[in-house]
């Protein structure tokens, strides 16, 4: 895999690929990268407020049996 970040000056861009890419099928994908930083929660109260709209699930009685989950017979 080869990754290179560029800032195009025009709508036409020419790229140079590594020598071992010659003769291979190559996929070129153009994606705009955002430079936004993820929001950080300022407090535990803000986290509670953000996620309070989702229903809470009671997992106190939940039991997971790994052997039963992997038994495909």
pLDDT tens over the chain, length 73 residues: 888 888 899 999 998 889 999 999 999 898 888 877 777 777 888 888 888 888 888 999 999 988 888 887 7
The answer to the question of residue 26 being in a domain is yes
Q: How far is CA 47 from CA 16, 39, 53, 58, in A?
A: 46, 11, 11, 19
Domain span at residue 9 reads 1-32
The answer to the question of residue 15 being in a domain is yes
The answer to the question of residue 6 being in a domain is yes
The answer to the question of residue 51 being in a domain is no
pTM exceeding the 0.85 threshold for the entire prediction: no
The answer to the question of residue 2 being in a domain is yes
The answer to the question of residue 53 being in a domain is no
Report the number of distinct structural domains present in the chain: 1
């Amino acid at each position: 895999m080869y990754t290179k970040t560029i800032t195009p000056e025009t709508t036409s861009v020419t790229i140079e690929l590594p020598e071992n890419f010659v003769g291979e099928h190559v996929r070129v994908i153009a994606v705009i990268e955002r430079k936004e930083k993820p929001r950080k929660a300022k407090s535990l109260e803000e986290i509670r407020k953000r996620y309070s709209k989702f229903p809470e699930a009671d997992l106190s009685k939940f039991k997971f049996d790994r052997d039963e989950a992997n038994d495909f017979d």
